[in-house]
Amino acid sequence: SAVISQKPSRDICQRGTSLTIQCQVDSQVTMMFWYRQQPGQSLTLIATANQGSEATYESGFVIDKFPISRPNLTFSTLTVSNMSPEDSSIYLCSVELYRGRNEQFFGPGTRLTVL
């Protein structure tokens, strides 16, 4: 498995501001993913962050709202820009350690509340 950490673990933010969430993995991985889990709901993939290329976004998510960086094989950031209360969610990063093993490992999540 992998040890995945996220910072911050939680935050309360004001409307109109931005928050950058960090995801750190203890081993080098190719595939990293960012998910959103809205209150009482399931997980929805925001984007796939591949090192050395632009992140690819799922339908309904755009780079201007959720810019992603992937500077190396162990680290990624997700920014939630110009936040509104509708952005209040848990944001989780996950990694696929071994391509073809079909296993994703998840970080503990970042609980974001927007006032």
Question: Which helix (DSSP H) or strand (DSSP E) does residue 8 occupy?
Answer: none
Site for other proteins in 37-56 (CB under 8 A): 41-45, 48, 50, 56
Cα–Cα distance measured from residue 115 to residue 102, given in angstroms and rounded to the nearest whole number:
38
Q: Which residue has the tokens 């931005």?
A: 18
Closer residue to other proteins, CB minimum distance, 13 or 43? 43
Contact between 17 and other proteins (CB under 8 A)? Answer: no
Closer residue to other proteins, CB minimum distance, 14 or 42? 42
Alpha-carbon Rg of the chain, whole angstroms? 13
Cα–Cα distance measured from residue 79 to residue 64, given in angstroms and rounded to the nearest whole number:
9
Residues that bind other proteins (CB under 8 A): 4, 31, 33, 41-45, 48, 50, 56, 58-59, 92, 94, 96, 102-109, 111
